[in-house]
Amino acid sequence: MKINNDAESRQDLYTELQQTADLFIGSKIGNKKQQRQREELQVLTQNLQGFVSERRAGWLRGWKQHTGERPADVIYVQDTHLKTEKDIEEVTAMWNRVWGVKDPTHPLSYWTKMGGGSGGVGILLQPSIAAHASPWRKMEWTSERIAVSFRGWTMINIYAPVEKTVQKEFYRDLQKWSNAAQPIILGGDFNAVLQPAIDRITQGLPSTKSCESAELDELVDRLDLIDAVHLTTHADDDSVPDPLTHYSFWRNNSASRLDRFYLTQAWDTFARQIALMLRDIARMDKERTTVYYNNLRASLNRQAETRADLQRIANQCRVRQGQMAFGRTLQPTTENVKRFYKRHADWQRDQTVTEILPSPGHFYPDSIPLAEKMASEWNGIMGGTHASMD
What CATH number does residue 72 fall under? 3.60.10.10
Q: Is the pLDDT of residue 14 over 70?
A: no
Residue type, 64: K
Question: Does some domain include residue 53?
Answer: yes
- Say whether both 280 and 366 belong to one domain: no
Tell me what pLDDT residue 266 has.
60
Average pLDDT over residues 157-169: 92
H or E element that contains 263: strand 259-264
The verdict on pTM exceeding 0.75 is: no
Q: Over 60: is that where the pLDDT of 21 sits? A: no
- The residue among 327 and 370 whose pLDDT is bigger is 370
> So what's the pLDDT on residue 310?
74
pLDDT at site 269: 55
For the chain, how many residues are written? 390
Across all residues in the chain, what is the average pLDDT?
74
- Edge-to-edge strands, sheet with 184-189: 133-135, 145-150, 153-159, 184-189, 259-264, 225-227
Strands 145-150 and 205-206: unpaired
Average pLDDT of the segment spanning 298-310: 66
Tell me, what's the pLDDT at 136? 95
Q: Could you tell me which residues come within 8 angstroms of residue 5 by beta carbon, excluding any fewer than 6 positions away?
A: none
Q: Give yes or no: residues 183 and 284 share one domain.
A: no
pLDDT of residue 27 exceeding 50: no
Pair 262, 320 in one domain: no
Please indicate, yes or no, if residue 5 is contained in any of the structural domains.
no
Structural domains in the chain (count)? 3
Rounded CA-CA distance 76/158 in Å is: 8
The predicted pLDDT at position 12 comes to 43
Q: Are residues 74 and 196 located together in one domain of the fold?
A: yes
Same domain (yes/no): 225, 281: no
In sequence order, the 6+-apart residues with CB closer than 8 A to the CB of 39 are 24, 26, 27, 28
Do 257 and 325 sit in the same domain of this protein?
no
* DSSP code of residue 388: G
Q: Is the pLDDT at 32 greater than 60, yes or no? A: no
- The reply to whether 193 and 167 lie within a common domain is yes
Is residue 203 scored above 70 in pLDDT?
A: no
pLDDT surpassing 60 at residue 159:
yes
For 273-283, the pLDDT digits (tens) are 555 655 666 66
Query: Where is pLDDT greater, at 190 or 38?
Result: 190
pLDDT of the residue at 316: 78
Q: What confidence tier does 242 reach under pLDDT thresholds 50, 70, 90?
A: low
Final residue of a structural domain among 220, 235, 266? 266
**In this structure, are 183 and 288 located in the same domain?**
no
Q: pLDDT tier at 323 (50, 70, 90 boundaries)?
A: low
- Quick: pLDDT tens for 258-271: 788 888 876 555 44
The answer to whether residue 2 sits within a structural domain is no
The answer on pLDDT for 20 being more than 50 is no
6: pLDDT strictly greater than 50: no
User: Residue 122: pLDDT above 90?
Assistant: yes
Residues 215 and 313 grouped into a single domain: no
Judge whether 149 lies within some domain. Answer: yes
257 is a domain residue: yes
- Tell me if 185 sits within 8 A of 224, measured CB to CB: no
Picking from 266, 298, 318, the residue at the C-terminal end of a domain is 266
- Choice among 225-234, 282-291, 368-377 with the minimum mean pLDDT: 282-291
Q: Confirm whether 334 is domain-assigned.
A: no
Residue 49: name the closest of 256, 260, 248 by CA: 248
Instruction: Answer yes or no: do 274 and 358 share one domain.
Output: no
Q: Considering the domain boundaries, does residue 1 fall inside one?
A: no
Same domain, 246 and 382: no
Q: Can you give the pLDDT at residue 259?
A: 81
Residue 201 belongs to some domain of the structure = yes
Q: How far is 279 from 283, CA to CA, in rounded Å?
A: 6
Q: Which domain holds residue 297?
A: 268-329
* Same domain assignment for residues 156 and 105: yes
Of 234, 266, 298, the residue at which a domain comes to its end is: 266
Query: Cα separation of 19 and 17, whole Å?
Result: 7
C-beta separation of 161 from 191 below 8 A:
yes
Tell me: pLDDT of 320 over 80. Answer: no
Q: Does 23 score more than 60 pLDDT?
A: no
